[in-house]
């Protein structure tokens, strides 16, 4: 029965440090078929592919459960090398090409064809002379076979258009003898529309030669256009396997998002706020942020005073860039107004001086001084911007240690930071407690607007609940306007008053948290409902 499938992965489960990321997932791929693998960020797609490729990270964290069948035979893939021998190849999202090498060298890297010479006879075949004629010939053949007649095999990779690099990468995989299965990991994410169409054509061409393709993407329209069948994952669980002709776009979207019933936040806090379109806390007009990988391209939003406003969307679409631009970490264009006053974001600390505080999504890279104490971390910004925790001695402003320690102790108690004391280095705290320190630093600024970026990333469920409930509490008790940026739609929907879904650097739509799963799923995928109907 299984013989019709080239690859079957049955009942795959995987645990990372007690966190179950895959729960009995199945995937089946027929020869010569394009099989789409879809799911939200964190649904388990990458882990599944890591298992398929026998990546060391899987085995160093205790292996996985379940079985892999290739052509119906149970197989154990213990290393990427073995995966390669089975004819499984991957086209990477970040190109694994050496810029200073030419196309042939890149295609043939690691599989060079050599001719014996006197030296190599003595010292082994590592000193073989390269057979360039044969190598360029084979590289040419690989390029031709994916219809890339116009890429010259002797061009240097550096300076090529991104699309071409992608094609060279594909050619390299095709060139491997006995390739049977190719994995494309979000190949169109970095391409222009024209290039993306071209890529889809090439995928069809490759599939027509009998090579199976696993196509990982967030763009559901592409799935509909090119795939033959698909597997949907959600939160590490297998949801469905469908033939494309049996399914519609809204169906896919609904299956991806799914119903999630568990309440993240206690709803018992009474509604006492008075939101009005007249009172705007934060406004963006044609806002651009030049953050690599998270570009914002012309965003317009009005966030009301006292509101909890969510920014959602898939990774790489620009929601993260919004906050980093305001905090001055990346160059911005366009206008940002806080309480009607235009912010000059070229001036460092402009946002902080206008009562906007920020909790970064990159805790260890941006959010913390890992080698310093909890006290130093919590008091740093308030000290530098508001001259708090300082006492004057002559012309110098010296740290008021007693006040700083006292404040830190209050914060430790308030946010339940598990530590040995105010002087413990934050680098030795757990992720959740580090996140609380980041939050404490922002609150110490007593902001009127608090921007939190991925506040629950990588922290345990207990800390998650505490952080979210605290955000809700300061919003209600102190009237702090909160902008919450998160990849977790559940989180946004349980906390926010309105949610803007960001797609390709722009606001795709502003939605109410109780809108349907289908609507959210389609918005995340960047599909207009009327277009799909």
Minimum distance between the CB of residue 252 and another protein, rounded to whole angstroms?
Answer: 38
In angstroms, rounded to a whole number, what is the distance separating the alpha carbons of residues 214 and 37? 7
84 versus 289: smaller Cβ distance to another protein: 289
Exactly one of 327, 378, 443, 492 binds another protein (CB under 8 A); which one?
A: 327
Run of H or E including 167? helix 162-175
186 versus 361: smaller Cβ distance to another protein: 361
Exactly one of 372, 469, 497, 504 binds another protein (CB under 8 A); which one?
A: 372
Residue 303 main-chain phi, psi, to 5 deg = -110, 125
In angstroms, rounded to a whole number, what is the distance separating the alpha carbons of residues 360 and 250? 34
Nearest of 509, 470, 94, 487 to residue 257 by alpha carbon: 487
Site string for another protein, 409-428 (x = CB under 8 A): --------------------
Minimum distance between the CB of residue 362 and another protein, rounded to whole angstroms?
Answer: 8
Minimum distance between the CB of residue 147 and another protein, rounded to whole angstroms?
Answer: 42
18 versus 365: smaller Cβ distance to another protein: 365
Q: Which stretch binds another protein (CB under 8 A): 29-37, 101-109, 157-165, 372-380?
A: 372-380
Site string for another protein, 285-324 (x = CB under 8 A): ----------------------------------------
Task: Decide: is 240 part of the binding site for another protein (CB under 8 A).
Answer: no
327 versus 500: smaller Cβ distance to another protein: 327
Minimum distance between the CB of residue 390 and another protein, rounded to whole angstroms?
Answer: 6
Return the SS3 of 255: helix
Task: Decide: is 447 part of the binding site for another protein (CB under 8 A).
Answer: no
Paired tokens of 375: 């006290």
Paired tokens of 506: 């722009």
21 versus 351: smaller Cβ distance to another protein: 351
Buried-exposed string 452-491: b where 16+ CB fall within 10 A, e elsewhere: bbbbbbbbeeebbebbbebbbeebbeeebbbbbbbbbbbb
C-alpha distances (whole Å) from 256 to each of 37, 132, 499, 517, 521 are 11, 49, 18, 9, 7
170 versus 351: smaller Cβ distance to another protein: 351
Which residue has tokens 């722009």? 506
Minimum distance between the CB of residue 495 and another protein, rounded to whole angstroms?
Answer: 24
Exactly one of 55, 240, 275, 399 binds another protein (CB under 8 A); which one?
A: 399
Q: What are the residues whose beta carbons fall under 8 Å from the beta carbon of 50, sequence distance 6 or more?
A: 57, 58
State the number of binding residues for another protein (CB under 8 A): 33
Torsional class of 317: left (φ above 0), alpha (ψ -120 to 50), beta (otherwise): alpha
Which residue has tokens 């757990």? 430
Task: Decide: is 376 part of the binding site for another protein (CB under 8 A).
Answer: yes
Minimum distance between the CB of residue 367 and another protein, rounded to whole angstroms?
Answer: 7
Return the SS3 of 235: coil
Minimum distance between the CB of residue 293 and another protein, rounded to whole angstroms?
Answer: 15
In angstroms, rounded to a whole number, what is the distance separating the alpha carbons of residues 510 and 252? 21
191 versus 399: smaller Cβ distance to another protein: 399
Exactly one of 190, 224, 366, 466 binds another protein (CB under 8 A); which one?
A: 366
Residue 159: CB atoms within 10 A of its CB come to 9
Minimum distance between the CB of residue 347 and another protein, rounded to whole angstroms?
Answer: 8
Exactly one of 109, 348, 414, 461 binds another protein (CB under 8 A); which one?
A: 348
Which residue has tokens 């490759």? 206
Paired tokens of 90: 């991957």
Task: Decide: is 442 part of the binding site for another protein (CB under 8 A).
Answer: no
Beta bridge partners of residue 299, listed in sequence order: 287
Task: Decide: is 353 part of the binding site for another protein (CB under 8 A).
Answer: yes
Task: Decide: is 381 part of the binding site for another protein (CB under 8 A).
Answer: yes
DSSP, residue by residue, 396-418: EEEE-HHHHHHHHHHHHHHTT--
Minimum distance between the CB of residue 410 and another protein, rounded to whole angstroms?
Answer: 20
Residues in contact with another protein by CB under 8 A are 327-329, 348-353, 358, 360, 362, 365-372, 376, 380-381, 383-385, 387, 390, 396-399, 401
């Amino acid at each position: 029965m299984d013989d019709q499938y080239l690859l079957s992965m049955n009942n795959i489960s995987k645990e990372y440090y007690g966190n179950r990321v895959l729960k009995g997932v199945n995937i089946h791929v027929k020869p010569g078929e394009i099989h789409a693998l879809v799911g939200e960020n964190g649904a388990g797609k990458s882990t599944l592919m890591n298992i398929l490729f026998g990546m060391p990270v899987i085995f160093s964290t205790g292996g996985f459960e379940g079985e892999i069948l290739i052509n119906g035979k149970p197989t154990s893939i213990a290393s990427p090398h073995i995966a390669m021998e089975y004819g499984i190849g991957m086209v990477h999202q970040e190109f694994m090409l050496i810029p200073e090498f030419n196309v042939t060298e890149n295609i043939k890297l690691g599989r060079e064809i050599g001719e014996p010479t006197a030296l190599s006879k003595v010292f082994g075949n590592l000193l073989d002379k390269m057979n360039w004629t044969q190598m360029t010939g084979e590289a040419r053949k690989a390029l031709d076979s994916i219809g890339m007649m116009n890429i010259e095999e002797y061009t240097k990779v550096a300076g090529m258009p991104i699309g071409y690099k992608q094609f060279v990468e594909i050619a390299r995989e095709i060139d491997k003898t006995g390739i049977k299965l190719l994995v494309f990991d979000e190949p169109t994410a970095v391409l222009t529309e024209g290039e993306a169409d071209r890529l889809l054509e090439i995928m069809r061409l490759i599939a027509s030669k009998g090579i199976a393709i696993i196509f990982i993407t967030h763009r559901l329209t592409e799935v509909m256009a090119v795939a033959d069948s698909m597997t949907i994952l959600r939160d590490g669980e297998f949801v469905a396997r469908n033939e494309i002709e049996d399914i519609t776009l809204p169906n896919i979207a609904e299956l991806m998002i799914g119903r999630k019933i568990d309440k993240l936040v206690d709803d018992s806090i009474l509604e006492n706020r008075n939101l009005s379109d007249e009172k705007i806390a934060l406004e963006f007009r044609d806002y651009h942020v030049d953050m690599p990988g998270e570009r914002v391209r012309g965003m317009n939003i009005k966030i009301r005073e006292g509101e909890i406003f969510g920014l959602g969307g898939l990774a790489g679409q620009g929601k993260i860039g919004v906050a980093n631009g305001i905090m001055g970490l990346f160059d911005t264009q366009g206008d940002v107004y806080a309480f009607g006053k235009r912010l000059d974001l070229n001036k460092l600390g402009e946002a902080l001086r206008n009562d906007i505080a920020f909790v970064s999504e990159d805790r260890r890279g941006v959010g913390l001084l890992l080698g310093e104490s909890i006290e130093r971390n919590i008091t740093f910004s308030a000290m530098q911007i508001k001259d708090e925790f300082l006492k004057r001695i002559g012309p110098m402003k010296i740290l008021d240690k007693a006040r700083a320690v006292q404040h830190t102790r209050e914060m430790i108690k308030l946010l339940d930071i598990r530590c040995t004391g105010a002087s413990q280095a934050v680098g030795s705290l757990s992720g959740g407690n580090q996140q609380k320190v980041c939050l404490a630093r922002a609150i110490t600024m007593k902001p009127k607007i608090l921007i939190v970026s991925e506040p629950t990333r990588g922290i345990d469920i207990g800390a998650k609940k505490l952080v979210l409930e605290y955000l809700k509490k300061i919003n209600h008790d102190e009237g702090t306007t909160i902008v919450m940026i998160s990849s977790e739609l559940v989180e946004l929907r349980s906390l926010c008053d309105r949610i803007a879904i960001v797609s390709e650097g722009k606001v795709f739509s502003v939605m109410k948290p109780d809108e349907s799963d289908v609507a959210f799923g389609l918005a995340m995928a960047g599909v207009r409902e009327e277009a799909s109907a």
